[in-house]
Amino acid sequence: MKKRAMKSSLAAHSAPQIQAIERRLFLKQGLSLGALALLSGCELTEDGAVQRVLTSMSRWNDAAQGWLFNPDKLAPEYPASAITTPFPFNAYYGEDEVRAVDASSYQLELAGLIRDKKPWGLLELYALPQTSQITRHICVEGWSAIGKWGGVRFSTFLERIGADTSAKYVGFKCLDDYYSSIDMASALHPQTLLAFRYADQILPPKYGFPMKLRIPTKLGFKNPKHIAAMFVTNTHPGGYWEDQGYNWFSGS
């Protein structure tokens, strides 16, 4: 009923008048689209073509960082007096949502290009040769904090389980549903640890009990906590933040 009324009232206007209105509308919409595109990077980033360029630049930066990575270059270590207290909690969830993990039933699952895939219990992991480091944790947000982590060199563990170290990636799945992955060269770096301790104490839940990856040659979000499973692969595994647009390599 209403529609027909509108149609008839439109018909009352002459065709040139309507065309002029349409032209004005078209111009106005075109202008505001252009203004919107210029307004802020928010709109620019959401544009398909621009986002494709940015994503391929991020892949290029992965390659550049892989090339720049020197396996013999050690992250600076600090005296105990430099440790940041309290060491900040950080995760994709709040501190009140930290997962409680049962130590007695915990088992680290192994998959992928690994010779011996038997799961590891905590006591077996604690029995591996232990080392510690006081290094700077650098968050992608910009802040940094110095802490002391203890555990087994990741390269020792990879050797012990017969991992194919000629493969490209090591992926991690975590009990807090976080996931991440690193390149094999960084995995074999002497300061990359499977950490079971923070400040000489068993890793507290907020820092990733029962174990986290401590990798001072990468940004903080490449240090997954509460690790439940790890796998060796040649297929790019991505990560929780990486899949949302954060640079995958994220080397320091």
Partner 1 sequence: MNAAQQDRPAEWVQIHPLIVRIAHWVNALAILIMVTSGWRIYNASPLFDFRIPGALTLGGWLAGALQWHFAAMWLLAANGLVYVFYGIASGHFRRKLLPITFAAVLHDVLAALRGELAHGDLSVYNAAQRAAYVAIIVAGIVLVFSGLAIWKPVQLQELTALCGGYEGARLVHFFAMAIVVLLVLAHLVMVILVPRTFPTMITGGARRA
Residue numbers of the site for partner 1 (CB under 8 A)?
A: 40-42, 44-46, 53-55, 57-58, 61, 68-70, 73-76, 136, 138-144, 216-217, 241, 244-247, 251-252
Compare residues 74 and 127 and give the one whose CB is closer to partner 1: 74
Return the structure tokens found at 110: 């192994």
Return the structure tokens found at 48: 């398909």
Cβ 78 to partner 1 shortest distance, Å: 10
Compare residues 54 and 127 and give the one whose CB is closer to partner 1: 54
Q: Of 241, 103, 222, which Cα lies nearest the Cα of 172?
A: 222
Compare residues 144 and 233 and give the one whose CB is closer to partner 1: 144
Compare residues 95 and 141 and give the one whose CB is closer to partner 1: 141
3-class secondary-structure state, position 216 = coil
Compare residues 61 and 107 and give the one whose CB is closer to partner 1: 61
- Are the C-beta atoms of residues 111 and 227 closer than 8 Å to each other? no
Cβ 55 to partner 1 shortest distance, Å: 7
Q: Of 76, 58, 67, 101, which Cα lies nearest the Cα of 225?
A: 101
User: What is the rounded distance in angstroms from the CA atom of residue 105 to the CA atom of residue 79?
Assistant: 36
Cβ 248 to partner 1 shortest distance, Å: 11
Compare residues 5 and 38 and give the one whose CB is closer to partner 1: 38
Cβ 154 to partner 1 shortest distance, Å: 16
Dihedral sign from CA coordinates of 223, 226, 231, 235: negative
Cβ 139 to partner 1 shortest distance, Å: 7
3-class secondary-structure state, position 21 = helix
Q: How far is CA 22 from CA 2, 3, 7, 19, in A?
A: 21, 19, 15, 5
Cβ 37 to partner 1 shortest distance, Å: 13
- Are the C-beta atoms of residues 62 and 249 closer than 8 Å to each other? yes
Q: How far is CA 23 from CA 13, 17, 36, 135, 156, in A?
A: 15, 10, 20, 65, 72
